[in-house]
Chains A and B, each alone.
Chain A
Amino acid sequence: MRLGFCRLVKVFFSSLFLQTSWSFFSMQSMGFLVTLMSGVRKDQHADIREAHKGFFNTHPYMASYIVGATLRAHDEGKTPVNDIQRFIAIAQTSFASAGDLLFWRTVRPALLLLATILAVKIGIWGSLVFLVCYNVMHLYHRIRGIQDGYARGPNVIYVIKSARFTVVRRVFETIGALMCGLLCALVSLQTHALLIIPIAALILILMIKRLSSVIITIAIMLIMIIMLLV
């Protein structure tokens, strides 16, 4: 059996719903099962459901790599179910941390900073730049992940060390740092400009102290109210 175009499209479309039924108990388990089942024959459904109904959680864009590799293992039928489950258990944590670092901590905030600066300066183009750049990268991982997972099987885990993760992350860290400095291009020199330094320092301290984001949001509300009253 091979990963044909129709099968790839089906699995890709199902993977877009991976987090739909996210819960604290099983996390993405139902999404993972539905995605897997969209890529196998009907007579395999019961076996797959039985084998993979447990806990599953990884980065949503990275799940494609695991889905591809798991599909191949089931197609070949040589790997024992226990070994497939072990691979999934290891791969989900590795891809979760790689995906979180790459997308949530680096690519998305860097592109959003760039887009925000552009949006304030030139309007709608900022939003379009974000949508195009972000989705090219995100869809690349979703589609290529299924293909690579299927082609490499369990060895797909080594993709984490490839340029598409390491180099891209380094590039976007640089873009993020540059955009962070460039934020001051949005400052109006007429009023309040110098207040940026103490407010930014205060919020940064709260973040470094690892206070919960709820407390930081409440602190921002209080700062806003105090500034209005003063």
Chain B
Amino acid sequence: MIIALLCITGALILLDKYAFGEFGISQPLIAGTILGALFGNLDAGIFIGAMLQLIFLAGLPIGREIPPDGQSGGIIGVGSYLLLRISNAEGHALLVAILFALAGALIGGQLEIVTRRFNEKMYRRFLKTGEHLVRCHLLGTLTAFIRGLCVMLPFFALAYYITIPPALPTMSRSLLMTISISVGCANGLYLFFKKSKIIYIVVGVLCGLVSVVL
């Protein structure tokens, strides 16, 4: 039941990516907050969402470029963590959830290509008949929803049923933060580094260090 609920909620949130509005609720941080609040672990939802957000910050859907689907990755990461925690220790759940999120983002990107090809068929059908424009267009919402279900269901089912052997390494929150902040810094520098902005980056670093020391 919880798997179905997570899949449906996740697929509905994922509609925000292309199918409706693009209000930003499918971003990993926001999706993590929503899933965490709905499924009873707000802190974990925000934390994992924030870490995945830093990792997927610079995935820009510009032109025909289809980057890994960070939005699907975020939902899969948080949802899998919530399911894995039912029967696993935190360190194991965190490790597997993050790996699922990264794999889910890669698979999600590929499924997006399939969805777009289906939309192309709908466009050709519209061109052929000249009718049913709205129907052909809005069918995209259904295919986007189904894509969401297809990409999430295997990960959530796996997360619900597996028990991770205690011998496997665990991931601590501080290690995940280190990796995510590193990737976040790289993403941030890639997007915002300019000669004229160096001063602001330095001011930011100084303020950050002061807040850490205090």
Query: What residues of chain A have their CB less than 8 Å away from a CB belonging to chain B?
Result: 16-17, 19-26, 29-31, 33-34, 37, 49, 53, 57, 60-61, 96, 100, 104-106, 108-110, 112-113, 115-116, 119-120, 123-124, 126-127, 130-131, 134-135, 138, 173-174, 176-193, 195-196, 199-204, 207-208, 213-214, 217-218, 220-221, 223-224, 227-229
Question: For the complex, what is the distance from the CA of A116 to the CA of B27, rounded to whole Å?
Answer: 11
Q: Which chain A residues border B14 with CB–CB below 8 Å?
A: none
A214 touches B47 (CB 8 A): no
Contact at B116–A22, with CB atoms within 8 Å?
Answer: yes
Task: Verify if B161 is at the interface (C-beta below 8 Å from A).
Answer: no
**B155 vs chain A, min Cβ distance (A):** 15
- Kindly identify which residue among B30, B105, B191, B203 contacts A109, using a CB–CB cutoff of 8 Å: B191
B3 at the interface (CB under 8 A from A): no
CA of A178 to CA of B192 in the docked complex: distance in angstroms?
Answer: 9
Q: Is B57 an interface residue (CB 8 A)?
A: yes
Q: Which residue of B lies closest to A225 (CB)?
A: B99
Task: State whether A178 touches B179 (Cβ < 8 A).
Answer: no
Q: A134-B24, A135-B23, A200-B189 are in contact. Are A22 and B99 (CB under 8 A)?
A: no
* Interface CB pairs A-B, < 8 A, 11: A113-B188, A127-B29, A173-B194, A176-B188, A177-B197, A185-B208, A186-B177, A193-B178, A213-B59, A224-B98, A224-B102
Bound Cα distance from A29 to B194, whole angstroms? 36
Q: Is the CB of A187 within 8 A of B212?
A: yes
Taking Cβ atoms with an 8 Å cutoff, the residues of B that contact A are: 18-25, 27, 29-30, 33, 37, 42-43, 46-47, 49-50, 53-55, 57-64, 67-68, 95, 98-99, 102-103, 105-106, 109, 116-117, 119-120, 122-124, 126-127, 130, 133-134, 136-141, 144, 169, 171-172, 174-175, 177-179, 181-194, 197-198, 200-209, 211-212
Q: Report chain B residues within 8 Å CB of A124.
A: 33, 37, 42, 46
- Residues of chain A with a CB closer than 8 A to B47's CB: 120
Given contacts A131-B23, A188-B174, A227-B179, is CB(A22)–CB(B140) below 8 Å? yes
- Please count the residue pairs between chain A and chain B whose beta carbons lie under 8 angstroms apart in the complex: 286
Bound complex: CA A96 to CA B64 (Å): 12
Select which of B57, B183, B207 is within 8 A of A112 by beta carbon.
B57
Chain A min CB distance to B151 (Å):
15
Whether B133 contacts A49 by the Cβ 8 Å rule is: yes
CB-nearest residue of chain A to B183 = A203
Q: A17-B20, A24-B116, A200-B185 are in contact. Are A130 and B30 (CB under 8 A)?
A: yes
> How far, in angstroms, from A199 to B178 measured CA to CA in the complex?
9
- For B204, the chain A residues whose CB sits under 8 A away are 177-184
User: Are the C-beta atoms of B183 and A30 separated by less than 8 Å?
Assistant: no
- Complex formed: what's the CA distance from A167 to B61 in Å? 23
Determine whether the beta carbon of B203 is less than 8 Å from that of A181. Answer: yes
Q: How far is the CB of B54 from chain A (nearest CB, A)?
A: 6
Q: Which 6 A-B pairs have the closest CB atoms?
A: A181-B204, A180-B188, A185-B208, A199-B182, A203-B186, A21-B140
